[in-house]
Structure 1
Amino acid sequence: MTTAEIRQAAAVAIGGKALLIEGPPGCGKTTLALSLLDRGASLIGDDGVALTTNDGALIASPPPNTSGLIEVRGVGLIERPSIIAPVSLILAITPDAPRYIERADTIAILGHDIPIIQFARYNEADPIRAEAALDLHGLAATAHKGN
């Protein structure tokens, strides 16, 4: 039997790796996801992500009831194709994020240790910073074995 959970997050895939964006309502999860989509990322899910395990990886996929939908505040629902990808990094949006970190913390999800960093929203460079965080702190595409 496959273990699964729904996690409150937006998620995009960049270079085949899932980036989960978490935080309280109104913190800018969807705005950051839209900015990353505009830069070439692929949608996984908005406002909810289904997590399962497969071949030693934690896999992010869209929940069936919201697959391919993004709620754009003040605009409405828009449709985009959605994909699945192995989870590489979680950005936890908070205004109290440290200015500099040496390494990401980790969080255990379904038996997988996933890197997580606190991430403050500042300006239009946020998607570039998110991509850099994924490159610097995210799991490599081949490093998804659980402990």
Structure 2
Amino acid sequence: MTTQALHGTTVAYRGLDGWRGLMITGPSGAGKSDLALRLIARGWRLVADDYTHVWASGGSAYATVPHSIAGQIEARGVGIVPAPTLGLVRLALLIELSSITAERLPEPQFRTVAGISLPFIQLDPRPASAVEIATSAIVRL
């Protein structure tokens, strides 16, 4: 099993079929941790902030946290704070943060992580609706 460290924040949503992972990517300062904090406030769990270890097994991609940052997330302007966590999750969705206005009805897109093709969307994290959009996207899977 080959594990790769990816620059991204991963959170987990508990659906009817168990936990589903969402990896949030984007440049430094794009709002990855901010969006994750808003999702955590709605009952999601933190898997990893800033860096995520990812690997493939049995046709799925999985994510976990580097031990040195487990259970912690950066709250810009406050510092490092504890967060409710989940140690391991199967990835179900990738979100890339972008200020580009998303298409109203985009064609499905996919990106490959650890050799596994995953659904992918671009999202502007600034609107209050970003939390509901992320939740709707992962629930639809």
1:43 equivalent in structure 2: 46
Letter in 2 for 1:11: T
Letter in 2 for 1:90: L
Letter in 2 for 1:6: A
2:128 equivalent in structure 1: 124
Mapped partners of 2:99, 2:29: distance in 1? 12
Mapped partners of 1:98, 1:80: distance in 2? 30
1:8 equivalent in structure 2: 7
1:19 equivalent in structure 2: 22
Cα displacement (A) at 1:105 = 1.2
Q: Does residue 71 in structure 1 map to residue 70 in structure 2?
A: no
Letter in 1 for 2:4: E
Name the SS for the 2:131 alignment partner: helix
Cα deviation digits, residues 10-50 of structure 1 (max 9, x gap): 11000200001111111111110000000000110110111
Unaligned runs of 5+ in 2: none
Q: Does residue 80 in structure 1 map to residue 83 in structure 2?
A: yes
Cα displacement (A) at 1:121 = 2.2
Q: From the superposition, tell whether residues 133 and 97 of structure 1 become closer, same or farther in structure 2 (CA, over 3 Å).
A: farther
How many corresponding residue pairs? Answer: 136
Name the SS for the 1:98 alignment partner: coil
Mapped partners of 2:40, 2:94: distance in 1? 17
Identity %: 27
Mapped partners of 1:133, 1:63: distance in 2? 26
RMSD (Å), alpha carbons: 1.4
Cα deviation digits, residues 116-137 of structure 1 (max 9, x gap): 111112322211111012123x
Unaligned runs of 5+ in 1: 139-147
Cα displacement (A) at 1:82 = 2.5
1:109 equivalent in structure 2: 113
- Residue 34 of structure 1: which of 37, 42, 55 is its match? 37
